[in-house]
Amino acid sequence: EADIYQTPRYLVIGTGKKITLECSQTMGHDKMYWYQQDPGMELHLIHYSYGVNSTEKGDLSSESTVSRIRTEHFPLTLESARPSHTSQYLCASSDGGKDTEAFFGQGTRLTVV
Amino acid sequence: SQQGEEDPQALSIQEGENATMNCSYKTSINNLQWYRQNSGRGLVHLILIRSNEREKHSGRLRVTLDTSKKSSSLLITASRAADTASYFCATRTGANNLFFGTGTRLTVIP
């Protein structure tokens, strides 16, 4: 089992609410990622971080924001949730080498009503 | 897709048969990786092949890589019902991020 955890697993919230999806890893990995997964399966990179105080936007534009104040923690925040944000959000981490695998959390399935 | 396509989108086979999935990508890569996802859960890494490798084996898995055609294939031999899942290829590029394909849904019928 990978030591990367996401909470909550499922979240149903009303439009306009602010939410934070939590992601923590205990492997000491420098690199962390957030992916958004469509119902049709494709994963889109929305944010990544190469270390503390480093955050970058991915290739899919997202209204969410992230922070990386501690190595082990990479939360994702939506200031005002909308139904279009309904999706599965997957957090992953990997160490610094290029020939390394990514470890994924179990995902957060977000539904905005 | 950010990097490429997987083919087929869905595959249904009988237990004991072999399953082959293909992946195409668009840019130069450092390596290509295959992952498995059970329904509604996170992805699990299966195997990694470097850009200077052509074939790699791990248990019942065989991966090939053709950098001239920018394509890879994953072969699962002697499939089992427990192999039912979605399978994704992912490429690690010069920028060191990991980009995923569109996935293949594999169903193995007991």
pLDDT for the residue numbered B98: 87
pLDDT for the residue numbered A2: 61
Per-residue pLDDT tens over the stretch A70-100: 999 999 999 999 999 999 999 999 987 778 8
User: How would residue A42 be classed by pLDDT, with cut points 50, 70 and 90?
Assistant: confident
Beta-carbon-side half-sphere exposure of residue A22 (alpha carbons within 13 Å)? 9
Contacts of A48 in chain B (CB under 8 A): 97
Three-state secondary structure call for residue A83 = helix
Tokens matching residue B83:
């192999």
Q: What's the average model confidence in pLDDT over A6-35?
A: 96
pLDDT for the residue numbered B2: 52
In this complex, which of A42, A94, A103 lies closest to B1 when CB atoms are compared? A42
Tokens matching residue A65:
């924001």
Angle (nearest 5°) at CA B86 between A38 and B60: 155
Pairing label, strands A65-66, A76-78: antiparallel
* Minimal-distance CA residue of chain A relative to B34: A101
Per-residue pLDDT tens over the stretch A55-67: 999 888 788 999 9
Q: What's the average model confidence in pLDDT over A101-110?
A: 95
> Is A104 in contact with B40 (Cβ distance < 8 A)?
no
* Minimal-distance CA residue of chain A relative to B86: A41
Contacts of B98 in chain A (CB under 8 A): 33, 45, 92, 94, 102
Residues 6+ apart with CB under 8 A from B98: A33, A45, A92, A94, A102, B33, B90, B91, B92
Three-state secondary structure call for residue A85 = helix
- Residue B36: other Cβ atoms inside 10 A: 19
pLDDT for the residue numbered B38: 92
**Predicted confidence (pLDDT) at residue A1 exceeds the cutoff of 60:** no
What is the spatial distance between Cα B63 and Cα B73, in angstroms, rounded to a whole number? 6
The answer to whether residues A10 and A89 touch, using CB atoms and an 8 Å cutoff, is no
> Is A35 in contact with B100 (Cβ distance < 8 A)?
yes
In this complex, which of A6, A31, A101 lies closest to B48 when CB atoms are compared? A101
Q: What amino acid is encoded at A110 in this protein? A: L
Q: What is the pLDDT along chain B (110 residues), one digit of tens a residue?
A: 456 688 899 999 999 999 999 999 998 899 999 999 998 788 999 999 999 999 999 999 999 999 999 999 999 999 999 999 999 999 988 666 888 988 999 999 99
pLDDT for the residue numbered A51: 94
**Predicted confidence (pLDDT) at residue A41 exceeds the cutoff of 90:** no
pLDDT for the residue numbered A100: 85
